[in-house]
Amino acid sequence: MFEATEAFTAKDETDSCNDWQQELQQNITSVDQLKAYLDLTEAEEADLRQVVAAHPMNIPRYYLNLIDRSDPQDPIRKLCIPQSEELILAGAMGETTKDPYGDDKHDKGNGVLHKYSYTALVVATEYCAMYCRHCFRKRMVGLPNEQTVKNFRGAAEYIAANPQISNVVISGGDPFLLPTETLRQMLDALKEIDHLKFVRIGSRAPVVYPSRFLDDELIEMLAEFNRHKTLFVPTHFNHPNEITPQAREAVQRLRRAGITVNNQAVLLRGINDSVETLVELMNGLLEIGVSPYYLYQCMPVERVRHHFQVPLKQGVELVDAARQQLDGYAKRFKFIIGHDIGKLEICGQVDGKLILKQLHARPGHEEESSRILVRQLTEDGGWLDDLPEVALGA
């Protein structure tokens, strides 16, 4: 686990929690600001300016100071600072897409995405504490878009009118970057919907901006809602260097409010694509009370795939080798492809064939849920569509 540098310590975080929104105004959002922190060559600076023009940069000082500035391959650096590879639209890994998860097909308006009958996802905001360079909603985050909620009461009315919806995911962007009172109103709108059994608030804030959770009003509000309906916080640690004392405190404050915190990591080239890193990440999560839940295959997103995606053949070998070193709780995570057709668990490989099981299916395709899929692994294939169908015994 990693310590924050002296430039932004735990004391600084405690001081800033009095006005967490004001602290966010100090985020690094321009190449000129970044140059005060990192030495950039002229070529790097020129590339960064091109990237930032298409996909904004936004980095909290806390997270920026986790970077080992002596290491140009530092994983924290790659996760938060734009790279020239983001200018690549096509390459050896194959085709890219702006919407790999099929959000556009399931947009019900007013921020509601309804892909699976029992789950409604509400895109509550396009803003995040940090704009991660691997984000699969890269086309939306930090930019004006139509898939964010304008009137949460309208989203709640849609959910109330569809009794098959048993759970809601409030996502973004990052919902915890909304004012506490706004988030309270959103949760209050869901509180009295009888068929709603639990709510999830997806957030990377415990990782990139943990001081948000030093706000007692926020924690008390979440605890109060959790007494009415079970509340989960899926968060997003990708590397053990993100597991700092400050992140641990953020997680512990959520857990003391009775909230279960799960982790959804993404397998990323140059970040966590080693057995040692995956083992350290999963064990480190358990140590701070976070349950490893999903490890996603990096989606074939435009300006992401060609520098972050790990070939599936390599990925399944990495995961299998890591699980051999993990105890029962640490190895419970599922290796997942979040595909347009539904969520697919990567179960393993047999004689060079990838074995997958479909966990969720779209409305009208319920018979596909729990089916087994078999694909022929290739050296470079990084997505389901890259791999030819094959019979298991062929």
Query: Are 17 and 151 in the same domain?
Result: no
Residue 194 has φ and ψ, to the nearest 5°, of -60, -40
Residues 61/8, Cβ–Cβ less than 8 Å: yes
Residues 123/147, Cβ–Cβ less than 8 Å: yes
| CATH number of the domain that residue 349 is part of | 3.20.20.70
Q: Is 96 domain-assigned?
A: no
pLDDT band at 108 (very low <50, low <70, confident <90, very high): low
Query: Are 127 and 192 in the same domain?
Result: yes
Q: Among 96-110, 198-212, 327-341, 379-393, which is the least confidently predicted range?
A: 96-110
Per-residue pLDDT at 96: 53
Q: Is 243 domain-assigned?
A: yes
| Angstrom distance (rounded) from CA 369 to CA 358 | 5
pLDDT band at 363 (very low <50, low <70, confident <90, very high): confident
| Tally of domains in the chain | 2
Residues 356/347, Cβ–Cβ less than 8 Å: yes
Give per-residue pLDDT as tens, 252-299.
999 999 999 999 999 999 999 999 999 999 999 999 999 999 999 999
Query: Are 29 and 175 in the same domain?
Result: no
Residue 388 has φ and ψ, to the nearest 5°, of -70, 145
pLDDT at 203 over 90: yes
* Cα four-point dihedral sign 69, 72, 73, 78: positive
Q: Is 107 domain-assigned?
A: yes
**Domain endpoint, select from 31, 58, 87:** 87
Per-residue pLDDT at 190: 96
Range of the domain at 268: 103-386
What are the C-alpha distances in Å from 96 to residues 73, 270, 339? 25, 20, 13
Amino acid letter, 75:
P
